[in-house]
Structure 1
Amino acid sequence: MPKIIIRPARSDEYDQVARVWMDSWVSTGLEDASDALLEKLRARVPMEVEKGWSLYVADDNGKLAAMLALHVPDCYLDQLFVAPEYQGNSLGRQLLAFTRQHLPDEIWLRCVRENEKAWRWYEREGFVFEKEQVEPMMGRVMKYYRWKKSA
């Protein structure tokens, strides 16, 4: 079986990226899959790339297994979503290791408070909780985390 490769996303893959994002988000149980949600994510991907996302995919021999979006100048891990059929196989850890190569000293991120599986995972991976704050655009409470390289 070929090894999954993490590489920059191509613009012709943005629809697939949006699908992975939706399927992974829906797997949290916090929202149902819908055409409206998929359209929202399809519109958001190129807009976020234009605003500075470094967008990567985990490519499993032509099938997208995950998406990763970083704001490198801000040391911000914006999105990390693994397709449901790839969850539980350390792909998230591979993506986090890849993130640490690009942001070696410090990383911050936000996580929806109700997505306990995700924020507990980040805590196990060395991220420290900083605060909770309502995200006005989403109307959800977000937990803020930070990881800093050990001295």
Structure 2
Amino acid sequence: MSHPIIRPARADEYDDIGRVWMESWVSTGLEQASGFLLANLRARVRREIANGWSLFVADDNGSIAAMLALHLPKLYLDMLFVAPAYQGQSLGRKLLAFTRTQMPDEMHLRCVRENEKAWRWYEREGFVFEKEEVEPSNGFVMKYYRWKAKGNAR
């Protein structure tokens, strides 16, 4: 693997970003790939951009290796998905380090309770569990986390 560069996403990449999102999500075993899922994720990329996402990609010489969606005003790391071919190569850690440059003092996130690999990773990276709630739009139980920079009081 070369060293992908993290940069803002371009509008002409939104469909590819939706594909990377789906492939990464499907790699968790929580859902099957389908044209319906892909269409929904592609539409959601555009909708979330309109609702305030700052969208970044990890670009590996023109291939999208990962997507990162932040909602900076809300201090929210909304999506971090690494394409299956790039998983296990510290790209997630690089994206998280980049995220901490964008939100250096504090951030929040949530992930699906059944995606144990993800939430255990966030816990190892210093995120603190806050609560669980059912997400009404999809029925998944979500685990909510918070991270604060060292020296920041709880």
Q: For the residues of structure 1 that align with 2:148 and 2:80, how far apart are their CA atoms?
A: 18
Paired residue for 2:37? Answer: 37
Paired residue for 1:5? Answer: 5
Report SS of the residue matched to 2:33: coil
Q: For the residues of structure 1 that align with 2:8 and 2:137, how far apart are their CA atoms?
A: 27
Paired residue for 1:125? Answer: 125
Paired residue for 1:141? Answer: 141
Going from structure 1 to structure 2, the CA distance change for 1:2 and 1:113 (only over 3 Å counts) comes to closer
Instruction: Give the Å deviation of 1:2.
Output: 4.5
Instruction: Give the Å deviation of 1:126.
Output: 0.3
Report SS of the residue matched to 2:89: coil
Q: For the residues of structure 2 that align with 1:51 and 1:59, how far apart are their CA atoms?
A: 24
Paired residue for 1:70? Answer: 70
Pairs within 5 Å for 1:24-103: 24-103=24-103
1:90-114 deviation per Cα after TM superposition (whole angstroms, max 9, x unaligned): 0000000000000000010000000
Give structure 1 regions of 4+ aligned residues with deviation exceeding 2 angstroms.
none
Report SS of the residue matched to 1:69: strand
TM-score normalised to the size of structure 1? 0.99
Q: For the residues of structure 1 that align with 2:124 and 2:17, how far apart are their CA atoms?
A: 26
Paired residue for 2:18? Answer: 18
Q: For the residues of structure 2 that align with 1:3 and 1:41, how far apart are their CA atoms?
A: 26
RMSD over equivalenced CA pairs, Å: 0.7
Size of the aligned set, in residue pairs, is: 151
TM-score normalised to the size of structure 2? 0.97
Unaligned runs of 5+ in 2: none
Matched residues, percent identical? 74
Report SS of the residue matched to 2:42: helix
Instruction: Give the Å deviation of 1:3.
Output: 2.4
1:56-93 deviation per Cα after TM superposition (whole angstroms, max 9, x unaligned): 00000000000000000110000000000000000000
Instruction: Give the Å deviation of 1:138.
Output: 1.1
Q: For the residues of structure 2 that align with 1:103 and 1:24, how far apart are their CA atoms?
A: 24
Unaligned runs of 5+ in 1: none
